[in-house]
Structure 1
């Protein structure tokens, strides 16, 4: 049913108020006749009388109700058809411990379903720098659900996220007794775990393919990885450790030095540490100045010779 034309609305209202209108008046609103809202006046063919609104509405709703009833019957038939299979699935062990999710929309939909079914805890690793505005908007919408349902949530960012006003605002709005944020200098890749039973990890660098993991052994292993990273991370709103320095070299510059020795290029180092390439190169320049290096090749030699990385596993004392 198409919407009634504007002239039709006005004339139908007039006809209801006056009891009838002249046939000539209805010529500007053919929709009235199409909808059968006006009928010939049995006493005078030059006039038209309005059909009562309740009667008109019933006539228009009847085919819709029949269509709805038809869909309901189809739904019942489908339910009966699948009922035997649902019963089998309910009493059998899951056969898909690993599901491949292709496409951003499908990945997001699967994560949203997992969150909707979550009953207690969410663990999340989000590498990189600050989140974009659309990403934060989506995260806050999902975060409101976490707060309203009283779910526990722990989120790991990289230290570079501390420079993002949007990320800090989001974390302040979300932080409560059940929601915590920490940062680490390095994170391997994205990871989200719901209720210690289902985990999501990327399967490609472009993040357009993900894996949904339900194998208890795999999920348990990822929880242990998360817990290890969490223990060594720093609460978001405490002083970050990479601000401390030894002999003018900060912790983040020590990390860059290690990655340079491993042969990583600037772009890969920046991506690994969640910073842009310009910031990464600025740190490399400061590192070179601190070691007295005049070239990139000499820098690698001086890093290896300096003993800077001999105790790389232990961060410098901030006190």
Structure 2
């Protein structure tokens, strides 16, 4: 009985109790009271509220009934503990033997399962659309039907005003209705005035934005059940993915990138870095996470010229490595900008 009482306090049938208490607090206190009374307690004196704690003590073996004098008598816990330990060891041995036998016991069922042809689940296929107008109408519908969360990753430093206007038209009703939106940008997007204006307006409605200074894939996820992906390099076609396994994988990618990204300050008075001196442009891009090669490409300079500017910036910031320089410059920029919009 004692071993069964211990097992009953565990998780699955027959498992030890683990971290579960062996006795309830009231049962433990009651045992101490009985000891103070000389180790015996008349059955007739047990109040109704103590019947369950008494049952616990009896099940565990810490109390025994003496019908001769109608009393409960305390049992030495050392004796009870040794008996329960032995019972549990025996039960554990039986479980180990059972576990080793289980594959053989189910072998015939396993062979039958492996030999059964599988029907293909086509409930979540990928639909490719190659018409821009059809894609836009479908995305409009998805925004209108979404009622929980929209996750979006949008690489690129700037976006056409027409696209930003389209985003505003779609996201404002969704956010105003209580929807949750999270959007991931590249650091260079902070220098694009129209993009910053979109971010500030959406942030007022509760959207959250982060920037990630490394490569990531463009996607939009609706309620964690459908993902829209570009299906061509020119974004002239799109794939609408509903397969649960693929959707879960893409959600995992987004969450991984979101954790690596940073919340930053988005300012309405964003400086147009094109009007800054060349070394300042290099420094601003470096603080945004762009690589030396990416900076050279954007400024139409050789990598050697960019390396010269970076070398002088390292001396200015007393940075030993390029990684350290980027962090020092980013910290300086954040100090000027203030608290981030998240």
Query: 300, 305, 308: which one pairs with 1:285?
Result: 305
Q: 1:207-226 counterparts in 2 under 5 A?
A: 207-226=235-254
Deviation at 1:95, TM superposition (A): 3.5
| Partner residue of 2:217 out of 185, 189, 202 | 189
1:200 paired with 2:236, answer: no
Measured in 2, the distance between the counterparts of 1:142 and 1:254 equals 30
Task: Look up the match of 2:169.
Answer: 141
Counterpart Cα distance in 2 of 1:163 and 1:139? 18
Number of matched pairs: 191
Maintained 8 Å contact 1:192/1:200:
yes
Partner secondary structure for residue 204 of structure 1: coil
1:107 aligns with 2:172: no
Structure 2 counterparts to residues 58-97 of structure 1, below 5 A: 95-97=123-125
> For the structure 1 residues 178 and 96, does the alpha-carbon distance in structure 2 shift closer, same or farther, using more than 3 Å as the test?
same
Q: Answer yes or no: is 1:256 the counterpart of 2:256.
A: no
Residue 308 of structure 1 and its aligned partner are, at CA, apart by 6.0
Conserved 8 A contact 2:287-2:326: no
Shift of 1:286: 2.1
CA distance in 1, matches of 2:203, 2:238: 28
Distance in 2 (CA, whole Å) between partners of 1:222 and 1:153 is 16
Separation in 2, partners of 1:101, 1:130: 25
Note the C-alpha offset of 1:188: 2.6
Check the 8 A contact 1:181/1:235 in 2, yes or no. Answer: yes
Structure-2 change in CA distance of 1:94 and 1:150 (3 Å): farther
Contact 1:183 / 1:235 at 8 angstroms: preserved in 2? yes
Tell me the distance in 2 between the aligned counterparts of 1:137 and 1:249: 27
Deviations 1:129-163 (A, max 9, x none): 12221111111111221122110000011111101
Please give the residue correspondences for 1:36-75 in structure 2 after superposition, counting only pairs within 5 Å: none
Check conservation: 1:249, 1:290, Cα contact below 8 A.
Answer: no
In 2, Cα distance between equivalents of 1:283 and 1:159 = 20
Question: Relative to 1, partners in 2 of residues 1:187 and 1:145: Cα closer, same or farther, differing over 3 Å?
Answer: farther
Structure 1 pair 193–289 and aligned structure 2 pair: CA distance change class (3 A): same
Structure 2 runs not aligned, ≥5 long = 1-120, 268-282, 313-319, 332-342
Aligned partner of 1:120 among 133, 148, 151: 148
Give the match's secondary structure for 2:232: coil
- The DSSP-based 3-state class of the residue aligned with 2:224 is coil
User: Against the structure 1 CA distance between its residues 189 and 280, is the aligned structure 2 distance closer, same or farther, given a 3 Å change threshold?
Assistant: farther
